[in-house]
Amino acid sequence: MAIGLALWLAIFAGLGRGILLADPPQDRIVIGSDFVLPAGSQMEGNVMIIGGEARIEADARLNGDLMVLGGSVIIDGMVEGDVVALGPRVRLGTSARVRGDLVTLPSALERSSGSIVEGNLVMVTAPPLDLRELLPTVVLPERGLIAWADRALRMVLGGFVLILLALIVATLFPGPVAQNARTLEQAPMASLGIGMLVLLLGVLGILILVITILGIPLALIALGLLIGAFLFGFISFGHLVGTRLVSSLPSGWPPVTPLLVGVAIVWLLWSLADLAPFCGGFVIHLALTALALGSTFLSRFGARPYPPRPAVPSETQQEGTAGG
């Protein structure tokens, strides 16, 4: 069960646009838009859609594999190969027929009576990326003051959990947290750029491992490292913000005050980012995530300074140079 190696190479060669590969001529990758195989039509080759919806209409036939990452799949026709769908919804209509395997998420599958999957039906489970999913959920109607109260409760609970985690991390690893905060302060643009790259390659790598099924254990390990790096960088960012703000206060405050204040402020910024107009919330979340990941990567979880300090010659070397 696989889509050819050329598809994977094309992801890195053509991010941000649809690609029509030359060998074989009908294999296609579509990024950021939908793919529709109209009713009664037929297509030879494999199809990959990233961030868009795939629709195989009635009496249409795809003679190849179908892979959809981050989008919905609606099949009313026939797919001769395998279907790998890691997205919010996979609907098989009454006339749908998949000749190969179907790999999807348990909560996504909607299957009508009459639909046929001739191969194996594989359900993939993976932990959520959103930290808020780990918190207690309060189900309230989404209207008026009740919705705002629900949002405020989630924000308070999330802040409490994050501050508790920050206290544990800062107590166990005070030096690395401070070193990572210095990296954020001294190299913010490098942290942002490296963080974007780590996030992109990390997510793509995890998706590739999940799709191969046998790589799921490695994918879970990689996901844990990615989340751990983000949380460590997020806490370090809060330490930096709190140190800057609390430095002007009179002495006598507890030593953990800068950390508590800083993490609370950064979490408040993260929580209220969704209220920003247009794509403001997404941009704020992406920037904070990239800064956290990039600084953690550059400082190796606070194990080394960045930028690296220049080597200082020892006294023996200096005396030898002077004597020469």
pLDDT of 83-120, one tens digit each?
988 878 899 999 999 999 998 888 889 999 999 999 99
In whole angstroms, what is the distance from residue 66 CA to residue 43 CA?
11
- Which H, E and C letters describe 189-211, residue by residue? HHHHHHHHHHHHHHHHHHHHHHH
Q: Is the peptide bond before 24 cis (omega within 30 degrees of 0)?
A: yes
Task: Give the C-alpha separation, 83 to 198, whole Å.
Answer: 28
The string of pLDDT tens digits covering residues 116-146 is 999 998 887 644 444 444 444 444 444 456 6
Q: Is the peptide bond before 307 cis (omega within 30 degrees of 0)?
A: yes
| CA–CA separation, 207 and 187 (whole Å) | 30
CA distance 202 to 227: 11
121's enclosing H/E stretch is strand 121-123
Confidence of residue 80 (pLDDT cuts 50, 70, 90): very high
The H-assigned helical ranges of the chain are 5-13, 144-172, 174-186, 188-211, 216-246, 257-272, 280-298, 315-323
Taking the C-alpha atoms of residue 150 and residue 142, their distance in angstroms, rounded to an integer, is 9
In which order are the strands placed within the sheet that holds 35-37?
A: 35-37, 54-56, 73-75, 90-92, 109-111
Amino acid at 188: P
In the structure, what pLDDT confidence band is assigned to residue 66 with cuts at 50, 70 and 90?
Answer: very high
In the structure, what pLDDT confidence band is assigned to residue 159 with cuts at 50, 70 and 90? confident
Q: What is the pTM of this model?
A: 0.51
